[in-house]
Amino acid sequence: MLLQEMVAPGISTLELDRAAEDYCKRKKANPAFKGYRGFPGSLCTSINEEVVHGIPSRKRKLKKGDILSIDFGVCYKGYYGDSAITVAVDKIQKSEEDLLCVTEKSLERAIEKVVVGNRVSDISIAVQDYVEKFGYSVVRQFVGHGIGTALHEGPEIPNFHIGEHTPRLVPGMVLAIEPMVNIGTAKVKVLRDGWTVVTADGKPSAHFEHSVAVTEEGPMVLSRRQYQGKNNFSFQEN
């Protein structure tokens, strides 16, 4: 909510990063990405055709019409949480509003499948089927993951179908489910900074993520936010 309120034309991604890190430290939590395999930021900030792992920078200022993916992981009392949203910077094109809506809804479809006895593949299929219905593509090269006392644990949670032989969901597992959805090709590449992942065709991409516990009572979203923010677009399912 802090970050969503801050997002506006003219603000740099480094300012967002600093705000997140300061807040996190005030709450006695540690930013999980900072230093992870050498990543320099506390947030991943990925704009427009950037899919994930964008590096916060003083030079990178948000512009009206951008879409910004904010990914944040923290460690609190030995346990990790990981969550992402994509937000509009001021007014964006309708095509990008739709991309954001579909990606977020695909995550909700996936969460509904977090039921004891289901398989990881049920989550993957839920994302892929929903997204492809709208002509979008899901990124193959990066996937969701288990999460707990480490940021990235097994099992992998692909956003596309890899066959039925995937782990069964059992109570106590926590899954970071994170659809990465592109308007154009599913193909991505990594920029020379060694981190920033961009779409191969330069078309926009969106990313939403929640950390979800598997319980006997159904999915428990650990990263649910009260704040709905500014992403209140009108979206027609058909």
CB nearer Mg ion, residue 97 or residue 209: 209
236 exposure class (CB count in 10 Å sphere: 0-12, 13-18, 19+): exposed
CB nearer Mg ion, residue 50 or residue 82: 82
Q: Alpha helix (H) ranges present in 113-207?
A: 120-133
Residue ranges in 38-77 that form contacts with Mg ion under rule CB under 5 A: 71
176 binds Mg ion (CB under 5 A): yes
CB nearer Mg ion, residue 82 or residue 122: 82
32 binds Mg ion (CB under 5 A): no
CB nearer Mg ion, residue 36 or residue 235: 36
17, amino acid identity: D
Residue 25 Ramachandran class (φ > 0 left, ψ -120 to 50 alpha, else beta): alpha
Task: Determine the interface stretch with Mg ion among 20-28, 78-86, 101-109, 217-225 (rule: CB under 5 A).
Answer: 78-86
Q: Report, in Å, the least distance between residue 228 CB and Mg ion.
A: 20
Task: Determine the interface stretch with Mg ion among 7-15, 80-88, 113-121, 159-167 (rule: CB under 5 A).
Answer: 80-88
Q: Report, in Å, the least distance between residue 120 CB and Mg ion.
A: 15
Q: 177: which 2 tokens?
A: 């489910």
CB nearer Mg ion, residue 126 or residue 143: 143
Q: Report, in Å, the least distance between residue 93 CB and Mg ion.
A: 25
Quickly count: other Cβ atoms within 10 Å of residue 102's Cβ. Answer: 22
Quickly count: other Cβ atoms within 10 Å of residue 142's Cβ. Answer: 17
Tell me how many residues contact Mg ion (CB under 5 A): 5
HEC assignment per residue over 64-106: CCCEEEEEEEEEECCEEEEEEEEEECCCCCHHHHHHHHHHHHH
Residue 81's closest CA among 227, 237, 223?
223
From candidates 17, 49, 50, 82, binder to Mg ion by CB under 5 A: 82
Give dist(CA 28, CA 78) in Å, integer: 11
Residue ranges in 199-238 that form contacts with Mg ion under rule CB under 5 A: 209
CB nearer Mg ion, residue 90 or residue 173: 173
Footprint on this chain of Mg ion (rule: CB under 5 A): 71, 82, 84, 176, 209
